[in-house]
Amino acid sequence: MAPPPPLLMLQDIRLRLGSAPLLEGAELSVSPGERLCLVGRNGSGKSTLLKVAAGLIAADAGSRFVQPGATVRYLPQEPDLSGFASVLAYVEAGIGPGDDPYRARYLLEQLGLTGEETPRTLSGGEARRAALARVLAPSPDILLLDEPTNHLDLPAISWLEQELASLRSALVLISHDRRLLERLSRAIVWLDRGLTRRLDRGFSHFEAWRDEVLEQEEREKHKLGRKIVMEEDWLRYGVTARRKRNQKRLANLHSLREQRRQSRGGPGGLKLAAADAEISGKLVAVAEHVSKAWGGRTVVRDLSMRVLRGDRLGIVGPNGAGKTTLLRLLTGDLAPDSGEVKLGASLSLVSLDQRRESLNPDATLADTLTGGHGETVVVNGQARHVMSYMKDFLFGPEQARTKVGVLSGGERGRLALAVALARPGNLLVLDEPTNDLDLETLDLLQELLSEHPGTVMLVSHDRDFLDRVATSVVAAEGDGKWVEYAGGYSDMLVQRGGADLPPAGGATGPAPTAKPRLAQPAPLPVAPAKKLSFKDKHALATLPARMEALQADIAKAHSVLGDPGLYAADPARFTRVSEALSRAETELAEAEERWLELELLREEVEGR
């Protein structure tokens, strides 16, 4: 039986942006009920190709065919709700004469909206939910979805995944959410250097296939290079190249050289490396009975937990649960209404905000990296030319004077990472770091965070990212309650008995079948007596000054060892200072542990 004809077909699509070619023969074919994921690096033209498929952009060359009567709906990355009095009016405007008029309200309700909201007051996540309801309401033949999970929380992503799986519509997905792509895709279209390649297998096979393709390209380049060397050798040392019988061979050599010049080459490698800072104390943050409310609603209630050096803490929950608030409380950026947060010694914080608000849209890319001073960026104490550092994050020299405001979402994400990672820090605080990043950048960011010697606190809705990075997950359970689970997101689900997180303001989910790691410190060893001895009181009074003195000694030792010529000039002194530094760091960690132990005992005694 012959396969059904495609509903949508793009052939030999060519498009230039300014002087640079973006699409150079891209193709896309979508048959009834197909599940395609469109993948490629940020800036490779995925969104542009999807707009061509939706009929919103005309290509410079090539053809677009849609079966007569087939309906196509497109979800943009930044939906425009202007001109509509309410969200319901916006969604209903996408419904055709034969569509179910009640489906609009059903979808809005499932997505946590009433429909009565005014479009101009919506947050980014709410606007994305409204746009999803608009494209899903008609049950079209083809759904073209550009980053459908952006700005959605975990409960909404879980619902969307189930909803898309139940549809009969053909899907073309652009997404950085690996879990979504693995569960929904049945074929892959890889857009790379203006051309598309297709694999009729799910996304879980993509990386192995991509690596195989790139390895084959490298082998072909190697063969081409060897052939050019052989021909050039003949040209220099062979019998005369002017004879007619040799003119063809000479022409072939010129053709080979032109072929190599015109080759755009494989995609360059992204290099991510965080700048080093001195090691923090063993205790990074201790929260004791912390509570915080906004607008009469408690978002954090009686939270007690501690964060140790080397922890990679993921914070998850629905939008509005207070994830960013909890992050700010744990880093001392926000004061609690009650309770106390104690921060450890020698902390050097580097943060990345989810909206990239630290980036000035009117500044150039180069000035953003250098701070507007000179042409160098200092990374790990070493001055690097800004062009070299830009290359590490896949920016070309021609983009140095590009305004930040015209960069794509993915490019702004890479730029924010470049700025943050150039600063030395032993505590990385990342609020939605995966937004708009392509899959290859995500891979490298995951590796960097997994190997980072300091501490990482992050808010994320990316389930795969959390599984790969987090050592524990703190989840919003509703009514201001937060529970810490060992492991990543999948481990959290197992400990919750397979139950997903409740929606914002919803009831707490079913009791976990496995015992979670409650967000409280494990009982620390304390003196068996229920009162402070004279020795304990003396230690409690003198330890803070001792810890300050040790921190000063550590800073001084680091300053001495920072001299690159010390070892060559005085090896004995280098050894003495290194040993003293090690002893001081060990003593500081022990002093911090003892001080915390005595503080908890004091509070227990005074609270009786």
Residue 512 has pLDDT above 50, yes or no: no
338-350 residue pLDDT tens: 999 988 877 888 8
Confidence at residue 554, expressed as pLDDT on a 0 to 100 scale: 84
Residue 247 has pLDDT above 90, yes or no: no
Residue 266 has pLDDT above 60, yes or no: no
Confidence at residue 388, expressed as pLDDT on a 0 to 100 scale: 84
Note whether residue 271 is domain-resident: no
The pLDDT confidence band at residue 84, using thresholds 50, 70 and 90, is very high
Do 51 and 149 fall into the same domain?
A: yes
- Residues 571-580 have a mean pLDDT of 84
Note whether residue 344 is domain-resident: yes
Do 561 and 503 fall into the same domain?
A: no
Do 96 and 179 fall into the same domain?
A: yes
Do 142 and 282 fall into the same domain?
A: no
The pLDDT confidence band at residue 373, using thresholds 50, 70 and 90, is confident
Most confident range, picked from 70-79, 209-218, 440-449, 540-549: 70-79
- Residues 347-361 have a mean pLDDT of 74
Note whether residue 28 is domain-resident: yes
- The greatest distance separating any two alpha carbons of the chain, rounded to the nearest whole angstrom, comes to 106
User: Which of 431, 103, 116, 394 has the alpha carbon at shortest distance from 272?
Assistant: 394
Q: Contact at 8 Å (CB) between 95 and 139? A: no
Most confident range, picked from 205-209, 223-227, 410-414, 566-570: 205-209
Q: In whole angstroms, what is the distance from residue 88 CA to residue 93 CA?
A: 9
Please, where are the H alpha helices in 452-528?
A: 463-469, 489-495
- Residues 4-9 have a mean pLDDT of 91
- Residues 345-369 have a mean pLDDT of 79
User: Which of 324, 333, 400 has the alpha carbon at shortest distance from 355?
Assistant: 324
Confidence at residue 75, expressed as pLDDT on a 0 to 100 scale: 95
> The domain that contains 337 carries what CATH number?
3.40.50.300
Q: In whole angstroms, what is the distance from residue 208 CA to residue 60 CA?
A: 33
Residue 587 has pLDDT above 80, yes or no: yes
Residue 181 has pLDDT above 70, yes or no: yes
- Residues 27-52 have a mean pLDDT of 92
Confidence at residue 87, expressed as pLDDT on a 0 to 100 scale: 93
Confidence at residue 314, expressed as pLDDT on a 0 to 100 scale: 94
Residue 64 has pLDDT above 60, yes or no: yes
Note whether residue 148 is domain-resident: yes
User: Which of 201, 194, 150, 206 has the alpha carbon at shortest distance from 34?
Assistant: 201
- Residues 505-526 have a mean pLDDT of 43
Domain ranges, residue 162: 8-208
Q: In whole angstroms, what is the distance from residue 315 CA to residue 431 CA?
A: 9
Confidence at residue 523, expressed as pLDDT on a 0 to 100 scale: 43
Residue 292 has pLDDT above 50, yes or no: yes
Confidence at residue 171, expressed as pLDDT on a 0 to 100 scale: 96
Do 336 and 401 fall into the same domain?
A: no
Give the burial string for 461-491 (b: 16+ CB within 10 Å, else e).
bbbbbbbbbbbbbbbbbbebebbbbebbbeb
Supply the mean pLDDT for the chain: 81
**Domain ends where: 390, 423, 456?**
423
The pLDDT confidence band at residue 174, using thresholds 50, 70 and 90, is very high
Q: In whole angstroms, what is the distance from residue 366 CA to residue 415 CA?
A: 10
Note whether residue 232 is domain-resident: yes
- Residues 466-479 have a mean pLDDT of 90
Note whether residue 296 is domain-resident: yes
The pLDDT confidence band at residue 336, using thresholds 50, 70 and 90, is very high
Residue 293 has pLDDT above 80, yes or no: yes
Please, where are the H alpha helices in 241-396?
A: 244-262, 323-330, 365-370, 386-392
How much of the chain, in percent, has pLDDT values that exceed 70?
Answer: 82
**Domain ends where: 423, 443, 469?**
423
Do 99 and 22 fall into the same domain?
A: yes
Note whether residue 183 is domain-resident: yes
Confidence at residue 524, expressed as pLDDT on a 0 to 100 scale: 41
127-145 residue pLDDT tens: 989 999 999 999 899 999 9
Note whether residue 1 is domain-resident: no
Do 437 and 308 fall into the same domain?
A: yes
Confidence at residue 242, expressed as pLDDT on a 0 to 100 scale: 46
Do 376 and 453 fall into the same domain?
A: no
Confidence at residue 403, expressed as pLDDT on a 0 to 100 scale: 87
Do 106 and 243 fall into the same domain?
A: no
Residue 6 has pLDDT above 70, yes or no: yes
The pLDDT confidence band at residue 234, using thresholds 50, 70 and 90, is low
**Range from 18-32, 214-228, 366-380 carrying the lowest mean pLDDT:** 214-228
Q: Which residues pair with 352 in a beta bridge?
A: 430
Residue 290 has pLDDT above 70, yes or no: yes
600 to 481, 521, 590, 595, 606: CA distances (angstroms): 22, 11, 16, 9, 10
Residue 164 has pLDDT above 70, yes or no: yes
The pLDDT confidence band at residue 380, using thresholds 50, 70 and 90, is low
Do 126 and 57 fall into the same domain?
A: yes
Do 399 and 516 fall into the same domain?
A: no
Rounded to 5 degrees, what are φ and ψ at 17?
Answer: -110, 105
Do 136 and 254 fall into the same domain?
A: no
Residue 265 has pLDDT above 60, yes or no: no
Up-side HSE of residue 352: CA atoms within 13 Å toward CB?
28
Domain count, the chain: 5
**Domain ends where: 262, 292, 327?**
262
Residue 244 has pLDDT above 60, yes or no: no
Q: In whole angstroms, what is the distance from residue 106 CA to residue 113 CA?
A: 10
Confidence at residue 338, expressed as pLDDT on a 0 to 100 scale: 93
Question: Which residue spans within 421-577 are E strands per DSSP?
Answer: 427-431, 455-459, 472-478, 481-486
Up-side HSE of residue 171: CA atoms within 13 Å toward CB?
27
